[in-house]
Amino acid sequence: MLVATAGNVLVWAVWMVAAFACLASAVAVVSFSNPFYSALALIGNLGSLAVLYLLLSSEFVAAAQVLVYAGAVMVMFLFVIAYIGPRSESPWAGGPSWQAVGAVLAAAALLVEIIVAIGLKAGGRLAHSPDVHGSFGSPAYIGRLFLTDHLLAFEITSIVLLVAAIGGVILGAHSRRLPEELPHP
Amino acid sequence: MTGPGVAWYLGVAAFLFATGSLGVLLRRNPLIVLLSLEIMLNGANLALIGFSRNFGNGDGQIFALAVMAVAASEVVVGLGLIVALNRKRVTLDVDRLNRLRG
């Protein structure tokens, strides 16, 4: 019993740190004026989200989060930010404009709406979660689900990635033709 | 389940989604709009995984992985558009990008 309580306290402590880091870095992404700092804050956000996924016993999704997001996507973001060059833009400067006030009000309304909808639809079922078996969320479990029940989703995901790769190549090829670079007839 | 219940995770997910939507509405740099979009997608992913744990069913994790793949594709196309705009010497400000005609 004592061991269980100590484990509970430890899980709560890890959850507190991860959730606070997650929320603080999300606010930092939105409010930093330099996009480079915003991208670095988003890396912290993704890492703390991976910790939350681990606490929800989904190991494979946490690993994929770190590999895909913090590894691949953020490197691409940082490369493009370095390519374009720093452009600072301070979101809160010059007093509260009607756009900023409207954006804050819309986001707050969205937050209230999500919480009310979840509380109405699922409030009674959130109190106790079932104990899951040890392999829940392991790579073998996810792989079996992907290749049996969700084979169609797996195949469609591969097509989506192929189309995105082709789109990226086409965008890159077209953007190279500036008017002064075109061959004159 | 030791530690906080799923409702706490859903609260974090709702706050993440609202913060990301604030960034999408407020910021004018398309790069930061894309970053805020990633925050919104991750909030939805956290809610999916929380419900997956709550019901003891792995379908939510499959959905979260599919969302991750779609987010990676969206970043490829979005960053390709931003680089294309930058090469055409267009100002990177979503308030001024109101024409699609090149």
The total number of structural domains that make up chain A = 2
Enumerate domains of chain B plus CATH numbers.
Answer: 6-87 (1.10.287.3510)
CA atoms within 13 A on the CB side of A124: 2
Tokens read off for A100: 């900023």
Neighbours of B44 (CB within 10 A): 17
Express each pLDDT in A12-29 by its tens digit: 899 999 999 999 999 999
DSSP annotation string for A81-127? HHHH------TTTTS--HHHHHHHHHHHHHHHHHHHHHHHHHGGGSS
Same-domain status, A84 and A142? no
Same-domain status, A1 and A64? yes
Same-domain status, A79 and A3? yes
Smallest Cβ–Cβ distance between A175 and the set B4, B73, B83 belongs to: B83
Kindly state whether residue A123 falls inside one of the protein's structural domains. no
Same-domain status, A5 and A80? yes
Interface of A with B in 97-136 (CB under 8 A): 99-100, 102-104, 106-108, 110-111, 114-115, 118, 122, 125-132, 136
Domain that holds residue A163: 138-176
CATH value at residue A63: 1.20.120.1200
| Mean pLDDT on A119-126 | 79
Same-domain status, A72 and A146? no
- Domain boundary, last residue among A48, A70, A88: A88
ipTM of the predicted structure? 0.89
Kindly state whether residue A104 falls inside one of the protein's structural domains. no
Same-domain status, A8 and A68? yes
Report pTM. Answer: 0.88
Residues lower than pLDDT 70 in chain B: 1, 99-102
How many angstroms separate the CA of residue B70 from the nearest CA in chain A? 7
DSSP annotation string for B15-72? HHHHHHHHHHHH---HHHHHHHHHHHHHHHHHHHHHHHHHHT-THHHHHHHHHHHHHH
Express each pLDDT in A77-114 by its tens digit: 999 988 887 676 666 665 567 888 888 999 999 999 99
Neighbours of B24 (CB within 10 A): 21
Kindly state whether residue A127 falls inside one of the protein's structural domains. no
